[in-house]
C-alpha cells in the first residue's frame, strides 16, 4: 500500500546530512566577524589568516606557521612582514638555532588574533535550538563520523 509515496531512502538521508553539514559549516557569522576586523584594521585576507594560526602566547618559528597554514614558507615571509609593519607581531631569533626566526605577537596583535580565533571556534547561535540531550547525541554521532578527532 501507499505505492505512490515511498519512505526516504537511507542514501537520500545520507546525502542530505552531508549537504547540511557543509551548509552549516559555512557559518556567515565567521565571515562577518572576520570582515569586521578586516574593516577596522585594513588588513587583507592573507595576514588575517596568519592571525588565525599564530599562538596567543609564546612563539612559533616561521616554518611552523607555513606548516600550520599549509602554504609555502616564502609566503610566510611576506605575511609576517605585513604583521610587523602593522605592529602586530615581531620576529625574534631562536635562542639555540640561529637559522630560525620565531614570530611573537605584540599586545595588540594578541587582541586581534584572539578575536579572529574566537570567531572561528565559537559555535553559531543556532545551536541553542537543540536541547542538552540533542547536543550530546549530535556530538556522539559526529565523533563516529570523525573518529580521529581533529
- For residue 148, the minimal CB distance to DNA (Å) is 23
- Which helix (H) or strand (E) segment holds residue 15: the answer is helix 10-25
Q: Phi first, then psi: give them for residue 124, nearest 5 degrees.
A: -65, 155
6 is a contact residue toward a second copy (CB under 8 A): no
**CA nearest 76: which of 52, 47, 110?**
47
User: Smaller CB distance to DNA: residue 8 or 45?
Assistant: 45
- Cell digits for 142? 559526529
Which string of x and - marks every residue 72-91 that binds DNA (by CB under 7 A)?
xxxxxxx-xx---------x
Query: 108 touches which of a second copy, DNA, none (CB within 5 to 8 A by kind)?
Result: none
Of the candidates 51, 54, 102, 105, which one interacts with DNA according to CB under 7 A?
102
Neighbours of 7 (CB within 10 A): 8
Amino acid at each position: 500500500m501507499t505505492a505512490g509515496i515511498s519512505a526516504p531512502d537511507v542514501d537520500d538521508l545520507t546525502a542530505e546530512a552531508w549537504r547540511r553539514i557543509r551548509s552549516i559549516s559555512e557559518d556567515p557569522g565567521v565571515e562577518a566577524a572576520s570582515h569586521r576586523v578586516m574593516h577596522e584594521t585594513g588588513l587583507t585576507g592573507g595576514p588575517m589568516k596568519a592571525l588565525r594560526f599564530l599562538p596567543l602566547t609564546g612563539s612559533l618559528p616561521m616554518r611552523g606557521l607555513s606548516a600550520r597554514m599549509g602554504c609555502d614558507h616564502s609566503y610566510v615571509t611576506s605575511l609576517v612582514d605585513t604583521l610587523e609593519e602593522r605592529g602586530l607581531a615581531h620576529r625574534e631569533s631562536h635562542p639555540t638555532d640561529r637559522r630560525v626566526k620565531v614570530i611573537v605577537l605584540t599586545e595588540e596583535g594578541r587582541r586581534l588574533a584572539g578575536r579572529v580565533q574566537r570567531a572561528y571556534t565559537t559555535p553559531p547561535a543556532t545551536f541553542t535550538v537543540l536541547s542538552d540531550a540533542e547536543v550530546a547525541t549530535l556530538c556522539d554521532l559526529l565523533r563516529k563520523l570523525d573518529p580521529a578527532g581533529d
